[in-house]
Amino acid sequence: MTAIIIGISSGLLIIVLIGILKHLDKKIVYGLILSGIGFLYVGYTWTDISSLVITALQAIFFLFFAYYGVTRNLYFMAAGYFLHGLWDLAYDLFPLPNLIPPHYDLFCLSIDFTMGIYLVILKLRLAKQE
């Protein structure tokens, strides 16, 4: 439960900080975060080749979601955050799930879903302004 509370709090903190820094392009910053969180798994799993291949492919997958979120539609990016949260839960099904830190799945799931929900709200708000 602590990991979820910390994840939601961290997600909200990131959202507030990005909101305060008005000169930043929100799409690009959220895209960078989405692509970066995919590559965290690569850093955790480099000691096992099969895990490394799986996590490298997932990192590239989320890199493309981030790219399409920035260049095409913010809904792609929100979907990327939701899918990454599901990846966090599914990672326990892969070989050597103990390569990632304890409770990382719940922490990352909660931060991903918090930011994904915010991006959907942001996209809906921007659509109303158009």
* 32-75 pLDDT per residue, tens: 999 999 899 999 998 999 999 999 999 999 999 999 999 998 99
Enter the pTM of the model: 0.91
* Percentage of the chain lying above the pLDDT 90 cut: 68
Q: Is the pLDDT of residue 130 over 80?
A: no
pLDDT the model gives residue 97? 82
CA nearest to 108, candidates 24, 34, 15: 34
* 13-23 pLDDT per residue, tens: 999 999 999 88
d(CA 116, CA 96) in angstroms, rounded, equals 28
